[in-house]
Amino acid sequence: MICTSVPRVERLFQYQEIARELRQEILRGEFRHDGRLPSERALGERFQVQRNTIRQALALLESEGQISTEGKRGSFIQIPAANVVKNAFLVSLPGESSPDLVRLNEGFNLAADRAGFTVRRLDTHPDAGHVFDHIPEVDRLAPDTGGVVLWPQNPTDNELLMRLNAVVPLVLVDRRVLGVSADSVRFDDLTGGRIVTNHLLEQGHRRIAFLTDDVFAETVQHRWQGYALAHEEADVPIEATYSHFFHGLHEPYFSTAMRLLLSQGAKSPTAI
């Protein structure tokens, strides 16, 4: 699949952002006194939104099993049926094929060990011939699982992610997933793209190409924004034919695309 337009960054809807904030407050035990959430009116005033937006956020939390709505009495948090000590984390990453993943694992192991938590792992890399990466299945989680750290791929199974997020704290690494209101820890890809491009510009390159095989990833979109910003700041125009946005293009075809990009003679880019 080839995309010729500039990628666009997707954002969570307002009700999803509100649901995420309330979900974290529930997990922190802020409504433990009587289990009742503030009224729709109070929440609307707090978040400065219309009541319909609050109702959407509450409906999302109710569909996840976080709360129950009892008519005029309001919304109440759902009390877990079993009191199991949650002292384990599941780290779901696509193998350890890069230094970034190795360092991420080392850092997480150190933090978990200091806190007295056990770490389990799941390789999310998709099997040969399969489109989606492996997402932990809710009914197969160990009872002591206190949270899941997951590096989502593109594409991914949004429905499985939403089900997982409904029953256990979920933190996404590197990128968000549209429609999944989980917390995320991301790299500053815009600054990264800007630094790399500035480095090439400082070396004298003026024909710099941008090539990706994961166009729908938010991380790639931010890197392209950094690439474009560096060109703008240096007053160097971007040649549209040097930006190639692919999706699902893997080796050896990705290397072939790179060779074709560099085989335009005098008009070829001098850096990618």
The pLDDT score that the predictor gives to residue 85 is 61
The answer to whether residue 9 sits within a structural domain is: no
Predicted TM-score (pTM) of the model is 0.58
Domain of 153 in residue numbering reads as: 88-185
Model pLDDT for residues 227-256, shown as the tens digit of each residue: 999 999 999 999 888 888 777 666 677 777
CA dist., res. 31 & res. 72, Å (int): 18
Mean pLDDT across the stretch 154-161?
Answer: 78
Look at residue 2 and tell me whether its pLDDT is greater than 50: no
Query: Which of 88, 95, 124 has its CA nearest to residue 109?
Result: 88
Of 155, 185, 215, the residue at which a domain comes to its end is 185
Look at residue 4 and tell me whether its pLDDT is greater than 60: no
Of 77, 105, 121, the residue at which a domain comes to its end is 77
At 129, the pLDDT band (50, 70, 90 cuts) reads low
CATH of the domain at 109: 3.40.50.2300
Of 185, 215, 246, the residue at which a domain comes to its end is 185
Distances (CA, A) of 94 to 3, 27, 62, 74, 179: 25, 28, 31, 42, 22
Classified as helix, coil or strand, 92 is strand
Look at residue 178 and tell me whether its pLDDT is greater than 80: no
Which residues are bridge partners to 89 per DSSP? Answer: 119, 147
At 6, the pLDDT band (50, 70, 90 cuts) reads very low
The answer to whether residue 7 sits within a structural domain is: no
Model pLDDT for residues 81-91, shown as the tens digit of each residue: 545 566 777 77
Does 175 lie in the same domain as 97? Answer: yes
At 260, the pLDDT band (50, 70, 90 cuts) reads confident
The answer to whether residue 261 sits within a structural domain is: yes
